A and B are shown apart, each in its own frame.
Chain A
Amino acid sequence: MARTVSKTETFVGYGVILVLLIITGGLLLKQSRFNSSILEPGALKQELLSQPTPPLAPVRDLRQYAPKDLTPLSPAESFGPENLSDKIDGKAELYLSAGFVSLTSQRFALEDKPSEWMEAFIYHMGSPRGSYSVYSMQKRSEARDLELGDYGYETENALYFVHGPYYLEIVSSVAQETMAESMLSFARNFLSKTPVESNVLNELDLFPKKNLNSESISLLPSNGFGFEQFDSIFTAQYMVGDTEVTAFLSRRKSQDEATSLVEAYTSFLLTFGGTELKSTLDIPGAKLVEIMDTYELVFSRGSFLAGVHGAENRKAAEEIALMLNQSLAEKSR
């Protein structure tokens, strides 16, 4: 005789079926929103990478700076740190390490000669130090100085200058006089319409003038000489006889920081195979290290860190270090 089912068993049975239905519903819901990255590690990255990066900087129309003989050849474009390399590829790192904020660029052609055109690049570097840094790292050696903004110069087909936190490049498709004049007008219009605070970098005057190649002064924004802790390092080239010597200095936050950086840099050099030599220089705390047949000399003076980098000749390195120490003693008070 068949067994009869009790009410309790019936309710338990319905309960189990209900739970199974809920689980089924949950699975179907999750499957409908399936995330392939769970099974394919690279998929999420690909998905994110395929999304266009929105420009971080507002597009500013550069037509306001263009003289009458220039007509826009393309719309203005803006780039932020996330997509700067979309415009300048591998050179983006140079700007990013110096505090890059935004780039706006636009092309203009001569109204009566559309085949002749120029492109203006306005880099906002966040500070005068940032703009000076990228300017100094790229300065062309065969250039003519110009009374244009700060440190302005021109080459056969281009203008370069600094204006407060801005670094400008205006590059022409032709080396031609009419275009050069239009580019100059553009630059002057930018200067007159863009007020900035004065741009004084005191460090430039601290390098002793004797044997200095004044065109060579550069500002390394970070990772100076491959040492992570060396940021905001000014460098300058000197000639001692036939030997070229690189001097450097950097204003630190305190005397303690400058002193500790001397020790840290010396340790860094010793770690990479350097040998510390006894310095006979009359500079308290100066460290001299020979590494890969070159000499590194580093010392502090007040809150300044200073020294000589990669000199092939010890005597030349010491001579420049003494001059630099003397200059800091006289000018940094």
Chain B
Amino acid sequence: MNQREQQPTSNRRDFLFRLLKGTIFIGAACSLSYWLYDPTGPGIAKKQNRLVTLPDFSMAGLKDKMSIVTGSDRAKTINRGLEALGGIETFVKEGDRVLLKVNAAFATPPILSATTNPQLVAELARLCYKAGASTVVVTDNPINDPTSCFSLTGIQDRAQSAGAKVLLPRDGFFQPTTVSDGRLIRNWPILWEPFKKIDKVIGVAPVKDHHRSGASMTMKNWYGLLGGRRNIFHQDIHTIIKELAVMVKPTLVVLDGTTTMMTNGPTGGSLGDLKETATMIVSTDQVAADSFGATLLGKTPAELPYIGKAEAAGVGTADYESLNPIRIDST
């Protein structure tokens, strides 16, 4: 018997039938695979859809304004500082929704100057409403318990008495963000909810010594927008401050150097840590504001590496004199 004779025989009809069955099976398998295929993959793209980016709150043509007012009465110095830049109306328009980002990091009393002064918060809220703001929101994500922080610092009472709405952080308020060209802030949660529908952002911070960064002023103040276990960023404090400054483009910053925490920051604790420096800085350039603030701490901007980093990132200028700041003595 030869080889051909040993093979089973098959007619044309049987072959075509088998070919049809095979084609249907392959087609069905391909269709099922196509139907089940997830082009985005699990996790990555879906989460990236939730990434948020803070809008640019700065105002065109007003990026290099600065005033430096001497005096110890905060209500007076903030008014004079803003008037020098054209008045609060230059920055806050009719119907604007304004967010005041305060430093309420610690549950400490106002006399320790570890947090934004409540009188200053109230005066700013009042001025915003006077300029026609429809809403003024005051917020921060403090280090300590938020309720205690806003209460014991006096910020809550004074802000509310001026008609501002105090927003304490809650779990649902955070959304991840990634800073463009950032190394540390990548898919990291930030306090997002209070910024929804906001038109203008004003950062309000005291001048303080800081054990890790050398100083805590307007740029470090944005640290309070971070969620998660943000303390890991202390290992690279100057980079994180720079990235925060890139992340937030405020309408205005107010740096309160009425009383400066010269030593033992950022918590302080003793009135002996404080010095009356009687200065209020108002600026649209947060780098310039902090550069001048460094001098109140007896430092040069070069001694605070984050200032140089922020300047190199194009956030602002460390050479505050180049802005021709308007100097006023309100005493």
Contact = CB atoms under 8 A, between A and B. Distances in A.
A85 B270 contact: no
A74 B266 CA distance: 22
A143 B234 contact: no
Interface stretch (B162-170, B209-217, B313-321): B209-217
B42 A171 contact: no
A54 interface: no
Given A40-B47, A158-B269, A171-B112, A87 B143 contact: yes
A49 B266 contact: no
B290 to A, nearest CB: 16
Interface stretch (B7-15, B79-87, B129-137): B7-15
B300 interface: no
B271 interface: yes
B111 A39 contact: no
B10 A88 contact: no
A157 B111 contact: yes
A169 B269 contact: yes
A156 B270 contact: yes
Given A40-B43, A90-B212, A155-B271, A173 B143 contact: no
A101 B299 CA distance: 33
A34 B183 CA distance: 27
Interface stretch (A91-99, A279-287, A306-314): A91-99
Contact of A156 (B105, B107, B216, B272): B272
B148 interface: yes
Contacts of B270: 140, 155-158, 160, 171
Contacts of A87: 143-144
B39 interface: no
Contact of A39 (B9, B41, B109, B213): B41
A174 B111 contact: yes
Nearest to A142: B272
Interface string B192-216: 0000000000000000001111001
Q: How large is the interface on A (under 10, 10 to 19, 20 to 34, 35 or more residues)?
A: 35 or more
Interface string B1-31: 0000000111100100000000000000000
A275 to B, nearest CB: 24
Contacts of B111: 157, 173-175
Contacts of B43: 36, 39-40, 43
B327 interface: no
A86 B231 contact: yes
Contact of B42 (A34, A92, A107): A34
Interface string A42-67: 11001001100100000000000000
Question: B143, B211, B216 — which one has the most chain A CB atoms within 10 A of its CB?
Answer: B211
B211 A85 contact: no
B60 interface: no
A158 B269 CA distance: 7
Interface of B is mostly: loop
Contacts of A85: 143, 231, 234
A157 B42 contact: no
Contacts, number: 110
A2 B266 contact: no
Contacts of B172: none
Contacts of A91: 211, 264-267
Interface string B214-230: 00100000000000110
Given A43-B43, A90-B210, A91-B266, A157 B231 contact: no
A87 to B, nearest CB: 7
A147 to B, nearest CB: 19
Nearest to A86: B143
A90 B114 CA distance: 12
A90 B264 CA distance: 10
A200 interface: no
Nearest to A115: B109
A171 B269 contact: yes
Contact of B105 (A89, A142, A158): A89
Contacts of B228: 46, 49-50
A271 interface: no
Contacts of A156: 270-272
Contacts of A50: 228-229
A138 interface: yes
A37 to B, nearest CB: 9
A69 to B, nearest CB: 19
Contacts of A89: 105-106, 143, 231, 266-267
A169 B265 CA distance: 15
Given A88-B267, A90-B212, A156-B272, A40 B44 contact: yes
A169 B108 CA distance: 14
Given A36-B43, A140-B270, A173-B109, A74 B148 contact: yes
Given A39-B42, A87-B143, A160-B270, 19 more contacts: A1-B11, A2-B14, A34-B42, A49-B228, A50-B228, A50-B229, A53-B229, A86-B143, A88-B143, A89-B106, A89-B143, A89-B266, A89-B267, A90-B210, A90-B237, A107-B107, A140-B264, A173-B108, A173-B109
19 contacts: A1-B9, A40-B47, A42-B187, A43-B47, A46-B187, A90-B212, A90-B213, A91-B267, A93-B234, A138-B263, A140-B272, A140-B273, A141-B272, A155-B270, A158-B271, A171-B108, A171-B269, A171-B270, A173-B109
Interface of B: 8-11, 14, 41-44, 47, 105-109, 111-112, 143-144, 148, 152, 186-187, 210-213, 216, 228-229, 231-232, 234, 237, 263-267, 269-273
Cβ-closest 10 pairs across A and B: A173-B109, A3-B8, A36-B43, A140-B272, A90-B212, A85-B231, A155-B270, A49-B229, A155-B272, A156-B271
